[in-house]
Amino acid sequence: MLPRRPLIPSLLLLRPWSTMAVPPEHASPVQTGWPERYFVAESSGSDLVHFTLTSDRERPANRARPRCFLPLPGRCYSFCVPAAQSPRQRVWAARLHRKLQQRLSQEPVAAGRKILALLSYGPQDAALERGFLVQDEQPLPNTERSLEELLRLVLPAPAHLSVYEEAKDGELWHALWRLQGAAEGKELVCRTRVVATEEPTLHPACRHLLDTAVFSSLETARRVLEECTSLIPEAKAVLDLVDKCPQHPKKGDFPVMVIEGLDATGKTTLTQALKDSLNAILLRSPPPCVSQWRKIFDDEPTLIRRAFYALTNYILASEIARESAKSPVIVDRYWHSTAAYAIATEISGKVQNLPPLHHQVYHWPEDLLKPDIVILLTVSPKERIRRLLGRGMKKTREETELEANRFFRQKVEESYRRMENPACQPVDARPSREEVLKAVLHLIKNQCHLL
């Protein structure tokens, strides 16, 4: 079990003050020694709402009501998973977050209920906590009780419940409750005000992307999957394949060309045409030796799923090294795809919330075999959806998200554009197959000196 950090837990509940044991005018300050915490919730339209808690008895100058809290009679509930540091703790926390997500999705869907993503973080790179905010416009009587039962069952003891309540003057107050055993009730810990805050310069998740979503080396990804071998038998099989690969494989004398892009941008058609035109070997990511485990790891939380895909890149690198000694190599997706989707998934909100240009998360891992050129195929969203519908293929969870959320798609596309060393070279894939092939061959000729 993970040690509990002395932070303000973030299970949020909005209800009338009349139901509370202590009135707001008797509010207690945050317990001495508890570090400052901030919160960000992703509301409708991918807008981010930032707020914090303060123990000041004086009414704060900033009285703006955080938009993620519903007016009465609505209620809002949320909770975060305790922060973790070591690989073992991070795997535990990630699976716990996933379990809570699944349990919430299994609850009966009431009219007017929404579940929002929630982050809790501290200043100066303090540990990030992930959770959920549940909005109920018309709350059911047993909602609070069922959430308390869920917290007692899933979170490390003692679980905490934070109650956010509206006073008569319209201000929001926070009451922290410690949940005892099922038969012991709960204990009031402290009360604080709730105030809106300005958006930070850098999205709070940006500081935590490396080696939790985008892995900077084989070893950092390996440590995550090593902690999963007792939980996911296939993790051991993946690690066995990694162990059979040569360390730091070197590219052969022939060029390596990677084709990137969202689904339905023409990658399959182009890679096959390049294979025939250049008499090249065609490889795909992830390679066939691990493809049978994709669905298993796609159902795991981001930390584990991204570690799996990061390691498949290193397995693919050994194949690239071997084949590039004999002929040119075409690769259908590689590291850039793994990183772009991870960044877009982990950074909530819109494109402007992405890590800035030249952030380390966009840099190619130093221990991964590097291609000679990376081509990024692009088409308009309307054309891409038309092609997807025409294919009639089953979509992955991320492809479904791409279609449903234009902000997610924009973040993926922009993350591709920000990749460095090597950068992605965009090619408009709207023209005919022949024209696209001609444009790509021209880039290859100029950069790889192959033709």
Annotate 236-277 with DSSP letters as a single string: HHHHHHHHHSPSS----SS-EEEEE-STTSSHHHHHHHHHHH
Residues 311-328 pLDDT 10s: 999 999 999 999 999 999
Residues 280-298 pLDDT 10s: 999 999 999 999 999 999 9
Q: What does the pLDDT average to over 87-94?
A: 93
Domains defined along the chain, listed by start: 17-200 (no CATH), 209-448 (3.40.50.300)
DSSP state, 73? T
Q: Which long-range contacts (CB under 8 A, 24 or more apart) does 72-75 make?
A: 72/14, 72/16, 72/166, 73/138, 73/139, 74/14, 74/112, 74/135, 74/136, 74/137, 74/138, 74/139, 75/13, 75/14, 75/15, 75/135, 75/136, 75/139, 75/143, 75/144
Q: What is the pLDDT of residue 391?
A: 59
Query: What's the mean pLDDT when you consider all of the chain?
Result: 84
Residues 178-209 pLDDT 10s: 888 777 788 988 888 888 998 999 999 999 99
Whole-number Å distance between alpha carbons of 420 and 310: 17
C-alpha separations of 222 from 95, 103, 235, 286 in Å? 17, 29, 10, 16
Residue 158: pLDDT band (50, 70, 90) is: confident
Nearest to 188 by CA among 199, 174, 178: 178
Rg of the chain's alpha carbons, rounded to an integer?
25
Provide the terminal-to-terminal Cα distance of the chain, rounded to the nearest Å.
Answer: 60
Whole-number Å distance between alpha carbons of 51 and 164: 12
Beta bridge partners of 16: 166
Residue 307: pLDDT band (50, 70, 90) is: very high
Residue 252: pLDDT band (50, 70, 90) is: very high
Residue tagged 């919160």 (tokens): 39
3-state secondary structure of 164: strand
Nearest to 168 by CA among 367, 20, 4, 348: 20
Q: Tell which wins on pLDDT, 379 or 17.
A: 379
Q: Global pTM?
A: 0.86
pLDDT at 13 over 70: no
3-state secondary structure of 326: coil
Q: Ramachandran region of residue 2, left (φ > 0), alpha (ψ -120 to 50) or beta?
A: beta
Contact 40, 130 (CB under 8 A): no
Residues 368-392 pLDDT 10s: 999 999 999 998 877 767 766 665 5
Structure-block tokens of residue 228:
């999963």
pLDDT at 404 over 80: no
Whole-number Å distance between alpha carbons of 300 and 291: 15
* Pick from 48-62, 227-241, 334-348: least confident: 48-62
Contact 336, 343 (CB under 8 A): no
Residues 39-77 pLDDT 10s: 999 987 789 999 998 876 555 665 677 989 888 777 788
